[in-house]
Amino acid sequence: MSRSNGRQTGHRVIVCALCVVLTAVVGVGYAVADAADAVPGLLTMRGVAARSYPDPSAARAAGTVSGDVDLDGGDIDKAAVARLIDELGKTEGIGTDFSVAVADARGNVIAEHEMNTLREPASTTKTLTAYAAANTLEMGSTLDTEVYLTRTGDDPTIVLKGNGDMLLGAGNNDPTHINGRAGLATLADRTVVALRKQGVTRVALATDDSLFGDDRTPSNIIENNAEHRYYTAISSMAIDGGRDWTGLESQDRDSFTEYPILSEHPAIDAANMFKTLLSARGITVTDSTDVSGQKPSNRIASVSSAPLNEVMAFMLRHSDNTLAELFGRLTALKLGTGNSIAGDVKAVERVLKDGGISTEGMTLSSCSGLAPGTRLTVRTLVEVQSRLVDPDDGAAAALEGLSVPGLVGTARSRVADQSTRGLIRVKTGSLDNVRSLSGNISLSKGGVLAFAVIVNNPVNAWETNKAVDSFAAGLAKL
């Protein structure tokens, strides 16, 4: 190394050393100044007051929030109820073909008009089905969609088995919604994990949609099923009830007002989506029709619907005809009345009779009220409502799904009086020649009433709806 290079190296060392010393001096000096609060920074030598918090309040013993509900209606002005019925009958648009019944929560009729006349009830029929199902089924149970690995070796086969969940989602399980609580993407993920554990990357897929047999559609329902928007045959599985939202605005899956066209083969649609999801996850999938060999030991994946009480609430609030028929079928299978439409209505009738509800003259053509031919009385409807508010009856699941005018369900836009918001729970009914409303009311001064109105052949359907809504609001103010 030359002498000049040696001098340059020594000079750099001296410069670096001076920089380190100066940096240390500046750092120490700033820290001292910071601690003395002469410059901004994190350090301080000032005392800091410790924040104190009061001790939590002592817990109070539970008390009575409200008194016992008056189920007898003894304090109700019967003459006032009769006047409301008279006013309803005189309303322009109602016509003469109508029935009304108002009862207390024990089922004792307070006032009525043609209470025992048979009329077509439309979707208020769903309250009968809901009552029957809630009293028969385990409403906390779920409907599982399952996958079975029925063959291994050179021809691995899986079977997609539905158990009635017609509110499947195409994506992952969604715990925040009823519609889509069980997701086919989650089912595909679980299936792929199970298959790969066994070294399987290629399968034949069969679909088992046999649960509900061949009789799945009430006779003549097509007459009230314009463009296939209001009913599709019950099936063991479906995505979003078979609704096709193509061209329509995206809406909350649990709260929508549109009536999209419904698929006529929802189980096949669900199976095709499942096949696509498996393929996207690296599984080669071919088709099979062999659904044999299913047993608990070879079930490799499953997803579960929302509990039945939540599905029932969805059915009532959307007046979903397919789900109403589904609940009828589940009830029939539980009671052994038959895997058929006739078995479904027989099951509903049996539960009503066993519950002491009048079914005199009643004819059910469906469990939803959509098919033509159903005839019943407002006595039947009002007695069902009385049972729903009876704390000893056990049909609470059918009560919680009723629409609340101004808030939720098919009655969300039917508020006749703002002061009664939240007091009225109803099921609406509407066909070309029918306007009906059945429900129960928490009176503003206390107590509970049940009521039912059926208007057939109204002169003006719009005016009829307004009049019936005003009638219910009038009852709430008694």
Fold for domain 78-138+311-476? Beta-lactamase (3.40.710)
Q: Which residue has the higher pLDDT, 68 or 449?
A: 449
- Of 76-80, 105-109, 449-453, the range with the highest mean pLDDT is 449-453
pLDDT digits (tens, 9 = 90+) for 158-171: 999 999 999 999 99
Residue type, 292: S
The reported pLDDT for the residue numbered 74 is 56
d(CA 311, CA 168): 11
pLDDT in tens, 243-296: 999 999 878 999 999 999 999 999 999 999 999 999 999 999 999 999 999 999
Q: How confident is the model over 112-143, as pLDDT tens digits?
A: 999 999 999 999 999 999 999 999 999 999 99
* Residue range 462-466: mean pLDDT, rounded: 96
Greater confidence, 222 or 53?
222
> What is the 3 state secondary structure string of the chain?
CCHHHHHHHHHHHHHHHHHHHHHHHHHHHHHHHHHCCCCCCCCCCCCCCCCCCCCCCCCCCCCCCCCCCCCCCCCCCHHHHHHHHHHHHHCCCCCCCEEEEEEECCCCEEEEECCCCCECCHHHHHHHHHHHHHCCCCCCCCCEEEEEEEECCCCCEEEEECCCEEEEECCCCCCCCCCCCCEHHHHHHHHHHHHHHCCCCEEEEEEECCCCCCCCCCCCHHHHCHHHCCCCCCCCEEEHHHECCCCCCCCECCECCCCCCECCCHHHHHHHHHHHHHHHCCCEEEECCCCCCCCHHHEEEEEECCCHHHHHHHHHHHCCHHHHHHHHHHHHHHHCCCCCHHHHHHHHHHHHHHCCCCCCCCECCCCCCCCCCCEECHHHHHHHHHHHCCCCCCCHHHHHCCEECCCEHHHCCCCCCHHHCCCEEEEEEEECCEEEEEEEEECCCCCEEEEEEEEECCCCHHHHHHHHHHHHHHHHCC
**CA torsion angle 252 315 435 377 (round to 10):** -170
What's the pLDDT at 397?
A: 86
The least confident of 42-56, 191-205, 317-331 is: 42-56
- Does 6 score more than 50 pLDDT? no
Average pLDDT, the chain: 88
Q: Which of 347, 335, 311, 317 lies closest to 128, judged by CA?
A: 347
Q: Quick one: angle between helices 184-197 and 266-280, nearest 10?
A: 50
pLDDT higher than threshold 50 for residue 15: no
Q: What is the rounded distance in angstroms from the CA atom of residue 244 to the CA atom of residue 246?
A: 6
User: d(Cα 222, Cα 230) in Å, to the nearest integer?
Assistant: 9
Residue 454, pLDDT above cutoff 90? yes
CA 392 to CA 369: how far, in whole Å? 27
Q: Which residue has the tokens 């149970």?
A: 141
Are 448 and 389 in contact by the 8 Å Cβ rule? The answer is: yes
pLDDT of residue 383: 97
Query: How far apart (Å, rounded) are the C-alpha atoms in residues 4 and 10?
Result: 10
Residues 6+ apart with CB under 8 A from 460: 92, 93
* Measured torsion, CA atoms of residues 366, 370, 373, 379, in degrees rounded to the nearest 10: 80
Q: Is the pLDDT of residue 375 over 50?
A: yes
Q: What is the Cα–Cα distance from 153 to 200, expressed in whole angstroms?
A: 9
* Dihedral Cα 341, 342, 345, 348, nearest 10 deg: -110
Count CA within 13 A, CB hemisphere, residue 394: 11
Percent of the chain at pLDDT > 70 equals 85
Bridge partners (DSSP) of residue 104 are: 449
Helices 321-335 & 308-318, crossing angle to 10 degrees? 140
β-sheet bridge partners, residue 284? 202
Let me know: does 470 contact 417? Beta carbons within 8 Å: yes
Contact indicator for 147, 193 with CB cutoff of 8 Å = no
Q: Is the pLDDT of residue 202 over 60?
A: yes
Looking at residue 20, what is its pLDDT?
A: 47
Question: What are the pLDDT digits (tens) for 63-75?
Answer: 443 345 566 655 8
Q: What is the pLDDT of residues 24-44, one digit of tens each?
A: 444 545 444 444 444 444 444
The token duo for 315 is 């059915």
**What is the reported pLDDT for 419?**
87
Kindly tell me if the per-residue pLDDT of 341 is higher than 80. yes
**Where do the CATH 3.40.710.10 domains begin and end in the chain?**
78-138+311-476
The label of the residue with tokens 């043609």 reads 114
Question: Is the whole model's pTM more than 0.95, yes or no?
Answer: no
CA distance 478 to 465: 21
How many Cβ atoms are within 10 Å of 21's Cβ, its own excluded? 10
